[in-house]
Each structure stands twice: as structure tokens, then as C-alpha cells.
Structure 1
Amino acid sequence: MIQQIMSPGTERESSYIPAAYGNSCQACAHAKCKCFYQPGGTACERCSRLGKRCEPGTTSRKRKAEGSHHQLPTPKPLTTPSRLEDKLDDLVSLLRTQVEKQATHSQSSHPSTVESTPSSIGPVTVTDYQPEVVVDIENNYVQLLRPIGPSTTRSPVQEDVAIHHIPDLKSNEQLATFRRAFLPMFPFVHIPSSLNASELRRAKPFLWLNIMALTTMIVSQQFAIEETIWKIISQRIVVQHFADLDLLLGLICFASWSHYFKKEKPFMTMLAQLAVSLSLELGLHTEVPAKYERVSKPPQTKDQQPKRRSLEERRTMLAVFHLTSATWAAYRKTEPLKWSPYLDSCLRIISGDGAQNETRLDAVLAAQIKCHFITNELLSDSHDDTRLTTDAVRRSPMLTTALLRQLNDIQQSLPVEARSLNTVQLYIYNSELSIREYVLRKPINKMATADMQRLKDLDSCLTAVEGWLCAFTELPLVDAIGTHVDNFTQFLHSIVVLFKLSTLEEAGWDLEEVRSRADIFGILDSTSRQIEGIVDVNGMVDADGPRSGLFFKAKYLWRAIKALLQAEMPAHLSKSADADNGDAPATLVEEIPMDDFMMNLAYEPWLSDIFIDDWAPAMSFEMPLEGYDSR
């Protein structure tokens, strides 16, 4: 029976000629069956038997003949990446369907998880963050990316900040304070004047919460908001791996003014590195690659053109670099974020003139970052043990001239209205001081005759200190509440250099002239009074209990610094300084409260520079760990 069934096929295959590989007719190729031609015939056996028109098939191996551009193009078969994209579309759709079903079931089982416990950070019950599939056709790999934004209009952070009820009128006043006093100090974000506080809260709840914490004049309320900020950082970012632009901007804000919330040991370095990780997680450190094709959307909604980075994204990435540079200058534990061609392009864009600039403060941010270039390199050199030899600290005058010329170019490139801003002048003078202070690292001139060039360098160094202190004291008291951590670091830097200049004894250097131009103890006293004025003008109310607000304990910090300097001042110079101060009372250690903040000053690198420094080998100081008694 089998032989009878197979015999016709056997006879057909023996009497017909099989088509060559790739030359089957279109009907047989579509039916995926063998194609046999009759000897001397033009139609195949199958088409003849079925009465169909036998048309020769197209082959992918056939080269394109000359002049074939007049012919109609044949339909292009699906490529492997296209078939892969289709399969990934189906896979993503299936995954989303399953997640939505699980979320619906979870909401029905626990309908009031977040609402019932508003003071806690509960689990996420909405599908806010779904990955986007990216196919790299050039390198042949598939990658899952975080979505650009949540798929729903309400972020879980909205639930976290809901426990803080601030009236619209009050929150708008605090937002105006942030625009006026904080953003000029560090313009890490652009908040349009047309945007009110309630709109900002809906769009960026975490950033809004940090702004409310910084601008409230009631310290107890500031500490209460701080607890919520820490819960969001620990639970949402660290535990649940949330990442979006709002969380990153809020983290930058909280870290940049971390001195407002510091208790014992500083945490700015930790938050700065967390901000770096968050920016890398969001992919903000590079341009959007043009070779990527997002396939998490339906095929008809695919973006034909690659999305370009917005000014907000570029500004945020530059703010991360600014944050790491400020952290390095203040605590010197981790070096700044490595500069890249992408960051350079971001800097050029926000530095340029034209309609693409959203705010004039972009020029201020660009100038601050350019100044950080100079101070970062100089600070790295001064704290590299391999460069602290006598030969290494002998900087070439040509290098100093080149750096000063670069600093002058930074200032001249600024718009006219930005050059005179105190927030810019503070960075310009601090950078100039960092360039000129190398003269203090040179061996002291022990000859009887004065070295005129060295005296000029010392005088230029003193002039830079005077310029910075003048720009700092000219800040309006109502705006001084926005003082950035960079400004505190720069102030201590100026005090360190001024202390060295006030105690430097060598031929031709007039210490009386130094004290008449910039009396270090008088400056500390006036700054302490300025801090008290900030409290009074802004109507600040301190918290009850052992923990105080920043400006309530800053005056004690200044008194502690003065007491330490008085103890380390040489005896014969100390008498002259006391005579210049007249009847000003000496700072007593008993007047300084010894809380956790004050007791941990020994671990602050920016303050220990006064006492442990490599500038002058002849000067050796030790920072007392307990109290403030001189050794």
C-alpha cells in the first residue's frame, strides 16, 4: 500500500527536473514545497497541475542589475532585528499585563496601605516604573532602561510628603525665598517665576520638600521635614531603587546645604556619591545614543528621531559635578566627578548666549564650575603626598600667569550683569587665592635683604583675601541664609591664609600693615555679629532641646575658631593683636557649648587646615580633640 502511494511521487521526481536552489517559483516558495520543472517546459509541475500561473520567484542572492532603478522595488523581508523587536514587543506587553493584574489584586487586598499610615514610607502599589527595552542594532544586544518618567500622574513620593501640610500662601513665600537667597548661591535648577509652590509640589514633590526644609524659619519644623527626607532617601532610593529627576534634584539640594542638618559626623560625601550613582542610573552622563531604538512602545509610536537632552538634564549633570567638587573641597574624601566630553558640551550649551538659555543664572553656574576646575586641580596637587617635596611646590611663574589669565577669561566671558554678583565674585577671589597662595609653600626668606618679588606675591595673596572677605560681608543679611557649603569652605580658606600672613615673620613683610588691612580677630568678631543679624532679620526661631539650628550654633563655631587662633598665635604677636583690638574681651572656652557638633570639629578637614598644614614646615599645630585648651 505504501509503495502504491509513493510510486507517483517517485515517478514525478524521476521525470521532472527540480528547480535550482533559490529559483523556486513564487507559488511553490510561498507554499514552502519543492518545485519541479518539466523537461523543456516553462511551468512547474505543481502550477500546471493546479492550473495556476507560474511566475519565477525572486532571490536574495541576485545582484541588482544596472538600470534596475526604473523597476518597482520589491517588498523587503523582515530582518532579524525587526523580528526580535516584534517578539520583544509581545514580551513587554505580556509582562505589563501581569504586573497590572498583580497591582490590581494588591490594591483590592490592601486598599489603604499608604493612606492608613501617612507617617511611614509604605510599599509601592502602582506600576510607576516599567523598564524600556532598547535594542542596539549595531552592537547586537538588548538592554533594559529605566523609563524617562512614571507612567502615572501620581508619584509614591507624593504620599510621603503629604504629611507636611504647608498652606499655599506660606509655601509660595518660602519658594520666593529659595529663588532669591539660595539659587543665586548654587543655581542647580531652574524654577520659572510663573511656577507656584503647589505646581512644583505636584511636578517635583521631593525637590519641593527640600526647599520647604531649607526656607522655613522655624528650626523644629525644619528638623521634622528632615526626618521625612531621610526616610525617602533610605526607603525609596536605597531600598526600592527608585530613580527619577525629581529624586536627583532633591538629593543635590539636600547635600549642597547639608550643613543645615549636620549633627555629628558629616554626611555630604555619602549623599554626593549617591547623587552620582543616581545620575548614572538615569543615564544622564551621556548623550542619548542615536543608534538605540526603544521598543517598549507600540511600533506606530516609535520615535523616529533620537531625543536630545533637555537643558534641565544637562544642568542637573553639571550640578552633580559641582556637588562633588564642593564635597571634595570641604571634606577631601572622594575626588570630584571625572570630567568628560559630554559634560564639556553641557557647559558650552549653558554658557552660550541666545534664546536657548532658560535663566541668567546658567552663566553663574558655568562660572562656578570653571572656577572649580582650577581649585580642584590645585587642591589635588596640595594633598597628593607624592607632590609635597621641595621641588614639587616650586611652581613656575609661567604656570601662575597662565592660571591667572584663565581666571580673567572666565570673568570677562560673563554677561555684564553677572560679573558684579557676589555669588560670582566669591568663586573668582577664592580661585585667585588658590593660585597665589603657593608663595606660602616656599621656604621663608631668612636673608637680611627683602625679596621684592616674594613681597609682591604675598601682597597679592593678601589682596585676594581682602577681596573675598569684602564680597562675603556685602551679602544682604536677608539673603545670607542661602549660604552654600562652598562659601563656608571658602571662608575658612581665607582665614587660614590670613592667619599665615598675620604670623609670617621675614624680611620686608610688615605684620602691622597686615593687621591694619585685615585684622583676623576683628573679622571673626564682625562675622559672628553678622550671623546674629541673620537670625534677627529673618525672624528665625530655634528648636527646643539640645539640638540647635545652623545659625544659632554658628556664632559659637566662630568663637571657637577665634579661641583656637588666639591660643596658637605666638606670644609677642598675640600682645600686638590684643592691643589692636582694644578692650575687646577674649573668648572663653566656658562660653562655647560642647554639643556633638562642636566636639566633632576635630574631624573637619576644612577646619583642621588651620592647625595641620603643609604650607609652612616651621609651623606645626595640633587640633585638640577635647575642649579648646592649647597644648
Structure 2
Amino acid sequence: MPRAVDSEFVPASYGQACVHCVRSKTSCRRRIEGGPCERCLRRGKECQQAPGGRREIGKRAGSRTTRLEEKLDSLVTLLQTSAASGGGPSILQPGAPAASTSAPAAVDASDVRAQAGFAPPGPSSQHFPPTPSASSHQYSVPTPQSYTPGSDPENVSEDEAEECLLRFQTEQLKCFPFIYIPPTMSAVELQTERPFLWLCILAVSTKSAARQVALGAKIRQMVATRLIVEHERSVETLLGLLAFMGWANYQLGPSQPFLSMYCHLITGLTQDLGLDRLPRKADEPMHPMACLKSHHTLAMKLAAHAVRTMEERRAVIAAFIITSEVSAFRAFCFNRTVDGLRWNSSMDEYLKDLEERQEAPLDKVLVTLAKLKLIGDEALRPYSLPSRPTDQLGFLQVFQVKTLQASVNQIREKLPAGLETEGSVLLHFLEIELQIHEIGLYTVPPRGKTTHAPDSQRLAMLARCVQAARSWFDCFFSLPPASYAHYSFSLWVQLCHAITSVYRLSLLEEPGWDTSLVRDSLDLMQLMDMLVERLKRTAEEAGLEVDRANAFTNVINSIRTIRNAWEPMLRRQTADVVVQGEAAAPAFQVPPMDSFSAEFLDGVNGWMSDMMFSWDGIS
């Protein structure tokens, strides 16, 4: 009977597979006389042929720039024709004369992707691409169409889809370059080839807050169906999750604690695909599957994936970075870490290949972020360890700080020209230095001692910690408010860490430590006022379509709540120092790290949970 069934169906010719078989990447078998394919017939689904067909292999353009110009010229012509007939928005700036639509200079989009870091590495592209503030005025794009709640959030016009993809390539990927998308690829092509990845990119790049929320709900349903119900394991799903988590700040809300869960999904998916290890050779005598009869099938699969692609290498490195970010966030806020993707020798090989080849212009950024994250994880270890007396850790702390700082300096010296001054990279450097010198906060006085002599080495580390925090905030406030909309989740983890450090340094009671100097250099109340003022301008200057409840308004409201909770304690501490001097009884003792989470969060009314609007569950 099975042979009879097999004889009814034959493999579909190239380009004739149905949509469902193409998406599931399975063989499409059809009847000779026509009708639905075997898979759709078995599942009871409507069988439709996938769009497109065999790609014609013709003469390629002489250069990538030429191909890009031809594609953009055709897109501009299409949009101009649509605008002239009243059928769609114009790509020109408002108020531009209609006669100028035929001039190529009206749209400078031909060099946008190249200026944003997508030109092939060479002598002319050694410098890092310009910041969003510098490149955003070199071309104009149509404003996004308003999203109506209840409609399909994935249904966007072609010009809006191209705008979202362009924004993602030229602005957002600078902060978290987990993938390389060729500049010649259009949004339609990306949606056809990788629909789930495109959906995740659209969710983090659209300017409509309502559309982001709707797309986030749809993505979560698709993740549950793909990974839990259908047990699908694919690189596309991993890349989609990396895009979704890379800008998770747009999807987090009071009833959506999912950071830890999605962190585990990324880790598990990477390991299930075997990407975290170098591929093993199937003909190895000690291969664990060599004793099975079905080993020849496994050998064929392993032979087909004997070498990791550059895309897979980027995905693994990015998975390590984002899971480490989530772990650091929980450590800073709740003194609890998440077991993310662990670094191993195979990842060392991936990192080395990315650094040496640099097939994509932003690979150098990804390599730098991974190296800094490795150093940050070393500095973060005391967060998960109980505090120990100063006399036991003093020497170890000084040695650790010097070693980690030397590693940071070594990375900085090898940076390509212009990369260190890029905002996203510079913020990472400053935040890592803050983590390193913050090691001085981990120790507490030995048991039974209420006072002890000033520790000059620890005081020096605390002073450098203040300096690093000041440098980080100076860099943050130097960025255009509109650029905050493009930064990844890492920026908000760093902001959370910096605020926490300033708070603890402002209230730390340590012999020889003058908290008034901290407040003179970093006035926490003034910092929060400046944060609120700049975040108010972000949505307007970035052209976001926001409503009352969005990522930035939630942060603003939370910062105001935190400020009101902190102000009495800071004012009381200031009054004690002024009236009684340094000999006054401590008004606030920084709790040891093993009890920091409960006491600290209870003492300030759960400020950190409120600040990040329940970005993750703490229970």
C-alpha cells in the first residue's frame, strides 16, 4: 500500500513547490494530473504555489553600487508614478515641487546603505559609518502609515516595508549586528525567503507603537507554535529570536515577563542546532553514533554541514551577547543571574574567523562587543557570590581590577580607526569600566567590626567607579535624543546599571569616603530630571507614532516614581553629613550582596522593577 501511495505523487519540479512546503523546507510531492500536494492533502490545507519561480541567471552588474542604483531607481519611478495617480505616498519631502521628481538628486538613497556600513571592506571604508544623526538627513523616506488596532499588523505597504528595512540596516544593526543583510536585498525578497525573520525585523523597526505591540503578540504565538508544537529547529527562527530580543525594550510590559524564558529558548535552540560547537566529522571512529545502523544518514547530514557559515558564526556570537545581557540585567536589578549560552573553544574559533575575514562591515563591531562582554562577565561574578570581609578580598580585588582593565585597554588599542568614538561602542567600553571598578563595592567590613581603617586601594577603586559612571552619562547625554529609538536592549541595561551604581555610591558609608563628592559630581536627582527631559523628546524627534502607553512614556513615568522615592533618603543623608560630619552614625548601610535584592527592592518600594516596568519576573 505505501508503494501505491508513493507512485501517485512525484517530486514537484524546481520552482513549482507550494507555499507550505517551501516554508517548512520539505520536499513537495504532487500528482501528475494536478491537485494539492501530498503534505497539504494530508494536513487538509489549501495548496498554493509559492510566489516567484526559477531565478534567471544572467549577467551580473559590474559593481554592487550599480545594482543598488538600478533597484532604487526602479523603486523611485514606481513610487513617483503611484504618487502622481494618487495611489500612494510620495518618497519626496513634503512641499517638494512635482517637476523635481525626475531628478536623481531628489533621493540620495543610492549611497545610504553604503554610508551606513554596507560597502565591502576596503581602503575607502576603514572608518566606522556615520552616526544616525549624521546620516539621517541625507535621504528622505515616507512617513509610516497609521496602524488601526484590530487589523493585520503584518500588512504594510511596500514603501513602508522598504523604509523599515533601511532603518534596520543603517541604524539599528550598528548597535547589535547579529546578521548581515545585503544592501541589494529588498523587503519583499526578505519576506519571501525568511518570513519569520522579516516579521521580527518589522516589529523592532516600525515607527508605530501600536503595530509593535500587535506584532509582538503575533510573534510570541508563532514562537510557541514553531518551537513547542511543531518542534521546529532552524537558523531562521534563531535569527528572528535574536532580532526580537535584541530590541526587547519595545515588547516588555507589566504583564509580559519573558526575558529569562526567551533567553533559555535562544540557548536551547543554538544547542539543538549544534551551532555552539564545531561540526564533528561523521567518519570519526569515536563518533557516538557510529554504532547505530542509521549512522550513514547522520553522516550525510553532517557532511552537508561540515563547515559553519559566517551567518551561523554571527548568530552564535550574538546569542552569547544577548543572553549575557539578560543575565547582567537580572544581576544588577535582582541579584539573580540567568544561565545563558556559555562560552567555549568553538566560539573562540568563530570569533577569530569573524575578526580575520570581516566579510560584513559591521563584523568588527560584533567582535568588539563579544570581547567586552567576556570581560564584563568576569567582573560580574561577585554579584552572584556572597560578600566577604575586606581583609580577605582586598588583594584579590586589586589584582582582578588591574587584569581586567589591561584587557580592556588591549581591545581599545586594536580597534579600527573611528570605531571607539561611535556612540554604541563607546557606551559599552565605559559601562565595562564601570563594572570593573565597581568591584570595590562588593566587600563589607569583617564581622564584629563596626569601624575599620580607611582602605586606600578600595577608595581609589570607588573614585574610579564615580569617574566611569560620570563618563557614561556624559556620553549618553551627548547622543541625539532621536537616536535612543534605534539603540538595542543593551542601552537600557547599561542605564539601569549606571543609575544603580550612582545610587549606591551616593549612600555608601565607608571610612574616608566622602559621599558629598559623589553628589557634587553626579547629582542623582538632576540626572533623573535630565533623563526625563531627553526621553520626552525621543518620540517626537524620531518621528515615532506613539500613544499614551509606549516604551518611552513608561520609562519616564517610572523614573519620576523612583525619583520621588529616593529624594527623601538622599536629602536625609545630605543633612546628616552637613550637621554631624563624617563622624555621624550611618543613615544607610549598603546591604551585603547576598541580601541586596530583597532589602534594596523593599527599601525603595521595588523601584527597579517599576523602572523597567516589570521587564522580567523576580519571583
Question: Where on the TM-score scale, by shorter chain, does this alignment land: which range?
Answer: 0.5 to 0.7
* Partner in structure 1 of residue 182 of structure 2: 192
Q: Note the C-alpha offset of 1:277.
A: 1.8
2:32 is equivalent to residue 104 of structure 1: no
User: Where do 1:84-95 residues align within 5 Å?
Assistant: none
* Partner in structure 1 of residue 479 of structure 2: 475
2:525 is equivalent to residue 525 of structure 1: no
* Partner in structure 2 of residue 89 of structure 1: none
Q: Distance in 2 between matches of 1:613 and 1:319?
A: 33
Letter in 2 for 1:538: A
* Partner in structure 2 of residue 560 of structure 1: 561
- Shifted more, 255-264 versus 310-319: the winner is 255-264
User: Where do 1:528-607 residues align within 5 Å?
Assistant: 528-543=532-547, 548-569=549-570, 571-573=572-574
Equivalent residues of 1:324, 1:336 under 8 A apart: yes
Equivalent residues of 1:440, 1:616 under 8 A apart: no
User: Aligned-residue CA RMSD in angstroms?
Assistant: 3.9
Q: Distance in 1 between matches of 2:231 and 2:302?
A: 27
Aligned length: 451
Q: Note the C-alpha offset of 1:507.
A: 5.2
Q: Distance in 1 between matches of 2:208 and 2:259?
A: 23
Q: Note the C-alpha offset of 1:612.
A: 6.4
* Partner in structure 2 of residue 463 of structure 1: 467
* Partner in structure 2 of residue 64 of structure 1: none
Letter in 1 for 2:466: L
Q: Note the C-alpha offset of 1:108.
A: 5.0
1:613–1:473: structure 2 CA closer, same or farther, 3 Å change rule? farther
Equivalent residues of 2:282, 2:299 under 8 A apart: no
Equivalent residues of 1:181, 1:480 under 8 A apart: no
* Partner in structure 2 of residue 314 of structure 1: 313
* Partner in structure 2 of residue 587 of structure 1: none
* Partner in structure 1 of residue 367 of structure 2: 366
1:283–1:454: structure 2 CA closer, same or farther, 3 Å change rule? closer
Equivalent residues of 1:258, 1:267 under 8 A apart: no
- Which secondary structure does the structure 1 equivalent of 2:418 belong to? helix
Q: Note the C-alpha offset of 1:411.
A: 1.4
1:419–1:111: structure 2 CA closer, same or farther, 3 Å change rule? same
Q: Note the C-alpha offset of 1:615.
A: 9.1
1:368–1:93: structure 2 CA closer, same or farther, 3 Å change rule? farther
Q: Deviations over 1:134-155 (max 9, x none)?
A: xxxxxxxxxxxxxxxxxxxxxx
- 1:504 is matched with which residue: 505, 508, 515? 508
* Partner in structure 2 of residue 211 of structure 1: 201
Q: Note the C-alpha offset of 1:178.
A: 1.5
- Which secondary structure does the structure 1 equivalent of 2:415 belong to? coil
Letter in 1 for 2:157: P
Q: Distance in 2 between matches of 1:224 and 1:285?
A: 32
Letter in 1 for 2:214: A
* Partner in structure 2 of residue 277 of structure 1: 268
Q: Distance in 1 between matches of 2:535 and 2:460?
A: 34
Q: Note the C-alpha offset of 1:265.
A: 4.7
Letter in 2 for 1:623: D
Q: Note the C-alpha offset of 1:375.
A: 2.0
**Structure 1: runs of 5 or more not aligned:** 1-91, 116-123, 125-160, 578-609
Equivalent residues of 2:164, 2:206 under 8 A apart: yes
**Structure 2: runs of 5 or more not aligned:** 1-5, 12-26, 51-150, 285-294, 331-335, 579-588, 608-619
* Partner in structure 1 of residue 277 of structure 2: 286
Q: Distance in 1 between matches of 2:262 and 2:227?
A: 11
Q: Distance in 1 between matches of 2:509 and 2:317?
A: 43
Equivalent residues of 1:477, 1:537 under 8 A apart: yes
Q: Note the C-alpha offset of 1:401.
A: 1.1
Q: Note the C-alpha offset of 1:267.
A: 0.4
1:488–1:507: structure 2 CA closer, same or farther, 3 Å change rule? same
Equivalent residues of 2:176, 2:488 under 8 A apart: yes
Q: Note the C-alpha offset of 1:434.
A: 1.4
* Partner in structure 2 of residue 8 of structure 1: none
Q: Note the C-alpha offset of 1:454.
A: 4.0
Identity %: 25
Relative to its length, the structure with more helix (as a share) is 2
Q: Distance in 2 between matches of 1:538 and 1:512?
A: 37
- Shifted more, 252-261 versus 322-331: the winner is 252-261
Q: Distance in 1 between matches of 2:153 and 2:296?
A: 39
Q: Deviations over 1:65-97 (max 9, x none)?
A: xxxxxxxxxxxxxxxxxxxxxxxxxxx999998
Q: Note the C-alpha offset of 1:426.
A: 1.6
Q: Note the C-alpha offset of 1:391.
A: 5.4
Letter in 2 for 1:537: E
- 1:220 is matched with which residue: 201, 204, 210? 210
Q: Distance in 1 between matches of 2:514 and 2:541?
A: 39
The higher relative CO (CA closer than 8 Å, separation ≥ 6) is in 2
Letter in 2 for 1:104: C
Letter in 1 for 2:262: L
- Which secondary structure does the structure 2 equivalent of 1:308 belong to? coil
Q: Distance in 1 between matches of 2:372 and 2:339?
A: 16
The TM-score with structure 1 as length reference comes to: 0.64
